[in-house]
Amino acid sequence: MDSTRRPILFVSYPESGLLNPLLVLAAELSRRGVADLHFATDDNRRAEVAALQVDTPVEFVPLGPVVPEMSAVTWDDETYAEVTQRSRFKAHRAVIRHTFSPEARIEKYRALEAAVEEIRPALMVVESMCSYGYELAITKGIPFVLGVPFMPSNVLTSHVPFAKSYTGPDFPVPHSGLPHPMSLAQRIANRVFKFRTLGMFLTRELRERAARDQRIRDELGIAEEAGGFMSRVEHAEMVLCYSVPELDYPFPAPPHLRLVGTMVPPLPQAPDDGGLSAWLDERDSVVYMGFGTITRLTAEQVRALLEVVRRLGERGTHVLWKLPAEQQHLLPPVAELPANLRVEAWLPSQLDVLAHPHVRLFFTHAGGNGFHEGLHFGTPLVVRPLWVDCDDQAVRGRDLGVSLTLDRPETIDVDDVLDKLTRVLDDPSFRDRAELSGKLLREAGGRERAAELLLALPALTATGAGR
C-alpha cells in the first residue's frame, strides 16, 4: 500500500438503527478533512451517504439491493408477529431463525471483497451486526473497529452456556429483558434462556443450516478464526460503543472497549423543518411519540393511542406523533383528530425534536439509538418495547429511574399508557435522572471523541502504514 494513502472503509447493514451512528462518524471525519473515506452499504442508502460530505468526499460503495432475510422492514406480517411476540425467548428464537440465512450473505461478501481489493483500506469500521464486514476484515487481515449501537454488554455476553463471555454467568443474557442483580428464579430463567438458545442449534433445521453455512464459508474463503460470536470482539482493534458504563449493568470491560456516548451530529440538523420548531415553540408541554422504522401498529392500537392523546389534551399536553405514511390510513379524517395532536410521516430530524426544551417525554420502543438519543437530551422515557434489545434497554431504564415500561405493550391498554405517561410527566425525579444520564453521555465526547480515537489507531498513523 502507498504509505501516503490510508483509506477508511465503513461497512453497515442498511437499517437506520445500525447505519445512522456510522453515518455521523463518517461525516465527522469529512468535517475534519480526512481523505479517502468510503462507505459500503446497500444500494437504497446511496443518498444518505452522498449527503455526508462536509469537507472531503465520502465515496459510496454499493453492495447491491436489500436482502429480505437481512432487513426487518421487508418481513411479512407473519414473520413480524413472530419476532415481536411478548415471549422473549420465542421472539429471540424467531429472529435467529429468520436471520440465519447462510446464502443471503454470499453476494454481499463478494461485493465487499471486490471493493476491498480496489480500495485497499488501511482500516475498516464495521457495524457490529454486519457479519460479512468483520468476517472479511479478519480473513484479509485488515485492522477494523467494531461499532456498537447497543449497550456494551450486548456484544460482550454470550447467548449460550459454556462459551466465552466477558460478563459473568449470572449477567442477563441479551434479549432476555432480565435485571441485574437477579432473584434466584431470575437466575434460573437466565440460564434456561441460554440452554434453550443452545438447544435451537441442535435441532435438525439449524444443524442443516450450519452445515450449509460452513460450506459457503469454505467456498468464500472465510478464515476459520472469523467464526464464533466473540471473533468480532477479539479481533477488533477497538470496540466503539455509543453508550456510557453507567447505563449498563456493571461488568469488567475488555481494555479495547471505548464508550463514547451518543453519536449526534451538529444541531440543528434540519433548520428548515416545515414549521415544526415553531409548533414546538408555541406549546409548553409536548410528548414525542415515535416507535422507530420497524413497528407496525394495528387499527385497534392506533385507536387506543388516539384516546390516550385525547385524554392528555385534557391536561394541556400536546403530542407529536411520527407515524409512517403506510400506516396513516388507520387514522380517522383530519377533522376528527384530537386538537392537541400533530402527526408527521417523517421528521427532518428526530434529534432536533428531542433537543427541543418543550419536549417533556419520549414515548418510544427503546431501540438502541432512540434510547440513547432521548437520554442524551435529558428527556425521560415511556417504553413500549418492540423486540430483542428493546426489552434490555427498557429494564435498564427502569432500574436507572429514567423510564417506565408499559405493562401490556402488545395491546396498548389506554389506562396503562396514561398511567405511565402521567407518572413520568408529573414526577420530576424522572427528568432529574434523565438529565444526569444526558450529562454523562455528552461528557463522553460523542462523534468528536470517536473520531479522535479512530484517527489515533496505528493503522492510520505513520507507524501503522503498510499493515
Distance CA 19, CA 13 (A): 6
Distance CA 349, CA 346 (A): 9
Residue-level pLDDT, tens digit, the chain, 467 residues = 345 679 999 999 999 999 999 999 999 999 999 999 999 999 999 999 999 999 999 999 999 999 887 778 888 899 999 999 989 999 999 999 988 889 988 999 999 999 999 999 999 999 999 999 999 999 999 999 999 999 999 999 999 999 999 998 999 999 999 999 999 999 999 999 999 999 999 999 999 999 999 999 999 999 999 998 899 999 999 999 999 999 999 999 999 999 999 999 999 999 999 999 999 999 999 999 999 888 999 999 999 999 999 999 999 999 999 999 999 999 999 999 999 999 999 999 999 999 999 999 999 999 999 999 999 999 999 999 998 899 999 999 999 999 999 998 888 999 999 999 999 999 999 999 999 999 999 999 999 999 999 999 999 996 544 33
Query: Which residues lie closer than 8 Å to 278 by C-beta, 6 or more apart?
Result: none
| 3-class secondary structure, 145 | strand
Q: Which three cell numbers stand for residue 190?
A: 437466565
Helix (H) or strand (E) holding 144: strand 144-148
Helix (H) or strand (E) holding 91: helix 88-99
Q: Which three cell numbers stand for residue 325?
A: 405514511
Cα 14-346-78 angle, rounded to 5 deg: 60
CATH 3.40.50.2000 describes domain 8-261+445-464: yes
Q: Which three cell numbers stand for residue 111?
A: 461485493
Candidates 3.40.462.10, 3.40.50.2000, 2.70.98.10, 3.60.20.10; correct CATH number of 276-443? 3.40.50.2000
Question: DSSP characters for 162-220?
Answer: TS--SS-TTSPPTTS---SS--HHHHHHHHHHHHHHHHHTTSHHHHHHHHHHHHHHHHH
pLDDT value of residue 464: 44
Whether the Cβ atoms of residue 179 and residue 397 lie closer than 8 Å to each other: no
Q: Please, where in the chain does CATH 3.40.50.2000 lie?
A: 8-261+445-464, 276-443
CA separation, residue 157 to residues 134, 249, 260 (Å): 18, 12, 20
pLDDT value of residue 466: 38
| 3-class secondary structure, 127 | strand
